[in-house]
Amino acid sequence: MARSTADGAARTDDRETTVEVVCTGHVRSAVGTPRLTVTFRGTTLREFLDAFFEEHDVEDLLMAETEADATARGWAPAPDELPGTWRKNPEGDQTRAYARVCVNGRFNENLDGLDTALADGDRVALMYPFMFCC
């Protein structure tokens, strides 16, 4: 993960933020606990993930390096006209297929992606595998 904002600007905020982290599945196994409190320098999800991945070797479980890593095989092609609002993080800022990063119960791609602002007490969920069924 880059130590900069999505537009390449250097991080300038040296404030510390403390968040609650919930880990599920393989992330929980690798971290060794389902819940922990993490204090990091910065105020964004990107800065949190940078700090978390320095401490815990789970980046490969969660983050996709390419579009192919973020896409599950076997999905039906998307229709030309999508209903509602569909959001997707740009390549390089996506989670792996079947992995999700949530902030306060919402998928990061439905917020501001990895540039989502975090405040003290926010809850970040690191989930792999994540399955959704309607």
What's the mean per-residue pLDDT of the chain?
85
pLDDT at 132: 53
3-state helix/strand/coil string of 73-123 = CCCCCCCCCCCCCCCCCCCCCCECCCCEEEECCEEHHHCCHHHCECCCCCE
Residue 130: DSSP 8-state: -
Pick the more confident residue, 10 or 91.
91
In sequence order, what are the residues at sequence separation of 6 or more whose Cβ sits closer than 8 angstroms to the Cβ of residue 91?
66, 67, 70
84 vs 52, higher pLDDT: 52
Burial 90-100 (b: 16+ CB within 10 A, else e): eeebbbbbebb
CA 91 to chain centre: 13
State the CATH architecture for 16-72+89-128: Roll (3.10)
Average pLDDT over residues 10-28: 87
Residue type at 1 in one-letter notation:
M
Q: Residue 110, Cα to own-chain centre: how many angstroms?
A: 11
